[in-house]
Amino acid sequence: MNTFVVISGCSGGGKSTLLAEIARRGYPTVEEPGRRIVAEEMQAGGTALPWVDAAAFARRAIAMALADRVAAPATGSWVFFDRGLIDAASALEAMTGEPVFRPLADAHPYHARVFLTPPWPEIYATDAERRHGMEAAIAEYERLCRDYPALGYEVDILPKAGVAKRADYILARLALT
């Protein structure tokens, strides 16, 4: 059984906070490639940023997500990913038409159940690393709601609830509680 679980969905939907709670409960987690890339590119004065060169950004996210999978514990323990390869491949194919989405997803599967954070305007905020607005975040969410099921994943939309309840929900759905 594949124990690599993706938590994805709408930008600003509480994914990173949720992953921190899951890590606090003792499960290995992998940070979102996009946030790490933005920090690195801003530090180095690079251009692989979503608001400068979105395709280069998506290609870097694919490479980082592949490296994250290799580096993740292979002990059979559950590992929770803040986004991942499918998100990046879906984004690159949507913007360029490059046929990368299905081949990458097929070659590097995750657990069959994917958890998506829905749009949640009450907690959404932009910052130096998240410059797009809620409309772009919703469009991304709708693309992911289409793309994950197209690959055969069972999509589980997380409730709009406090972080502890969301973590409880995920662990219960995976029969870990």
Q: Are 9 and 144 in contact (CB under 8 A)?
A: yes
Q: Which pLDDT belongs to residue 23? A: 96
The phi, psi pair for 113, rounded to 5°, reads: -100, 125
Look at residue 70 and tell me whether its pLDDT is greater than 70.
Answer: yes
137 or 175, higher pLDDT: 175
Query: Mean pLDDT for the chain?
Result: 89
Residue 159: the pLDDT is 94
Phi, psi of 95 (to 5 degrees): -90, -25
**Distance (Å) of CA 19 to CA 54, 55, 152:** 25, 26, 24
- Provide the pLDDT for residue 13: 77
pLDDT of residue 134: 66
Q: DSSP assignment, residue 118?
A: P
Confidence of residue 12 (pLDDT cuts 50, 70, 90): confident
Number of domains in the chain: 1
Q: Nearest Cα to 124, choosing from 2, 3, 16, 6?
A: 16
- Measure the CA–CA gap between 138 and 142, rounded to whole angstroms: 6
Output the six-digit token pair for 68.
């994250």
Task: Collapse the DSSP code of 76 into the 3-class scheme (helix H, G, I; strand E, B; otherwise coil) and give the result.
Answer: coil
Higher pLDDT, residue 130 or 167: 167
Residue 130 binned pLDDT confidence (cut-offs 50, 70, 90): low
Q: What are phi and psi of 67, to 5 degrees?
A: -65, -40
CATH code for the domain of 141? 3.40.50.300
What pLDDT is stored for residue 126 in this prediction?
Answer: 63
| Domain around 138 | 4-173
- Higher-confidence position of 57 and 11: 57
Overall average pLDDT of the 136-154 stretch: 93
CB atoms closer than 10 angstroms to residue 175: 6
Report residue 117's pLDDT band, with 50, 70 and 90 as the boundaries. very high
Q: Of 31-35, 129-133, 134-138, which has the strongest mean pLDDT?
A: 31-35
H helices of the chain, in order, are: 15-24, 33-44, 54-71, 85-96, 101-107, 134-150, 163-173
Which of 66, 42, 54, 61 is closest to 96 using CA atoms? 54
